[in-house]
Amino acid sequence: MATETPPHSEPHHRLPTTEEFVAVQESAEFGELRRSYRSYAFPLTVAFIVWYLLYVLLSNYAGGFMGTKVFGNINVALVFGLAQFLTTFLIAWWYARHAAAQLDPKAEAIKSRTEGGA
């Protein structure tokens, strides 16, 4: 039989002061977390934007190429358009895995120490 933890026995987290927030922001650990995020998210964002703009530019200026039949009534434009959706979902999935494995544990450790739970 599972018992619930009484509300009064749960750990109380205090809110950090402004100075503590600034100290965390300036810490090496937070800087590493920020670098980990940026080194992953920014290149992936740039790559996706380039891929999207390539699709738009080809659609506007390379109609003959985009109209090329791949099989049946399926042309290059449709394949590229569907690939946009596929890459969007893949990037979201890939980022979620990366965040869960790399970013979230670091962020949780910083949060726990900052709130006095460590």
Give the pLDDT score at 17.
83
pLDDT tens-digit series, residues 28-48: 999 999 999 999 999 999 999
Q: Which residue ranges make up each domain of the chain?
A: 16-114
Q: Which residues contact 3 (CB under 8 A, 6 or more apart)?
A: none
Task: Measure the CA–CA gap between 51 and 47, rounded to whole angstroms.
Answer: 6
What confidence score (pLDDT) does residue 108 get? 93
pLDDT tens track for 78-117: 999 999 999 999 999 999 999 999 999 999 999 888 887 4
Which pTM does this prediction carry?
A: 0.72
DSSP state at residue 8: G
Tell whether the model's pLDDT for residue 74 goes beyond 80: yes
Amino acid 11: pLDDT: 56
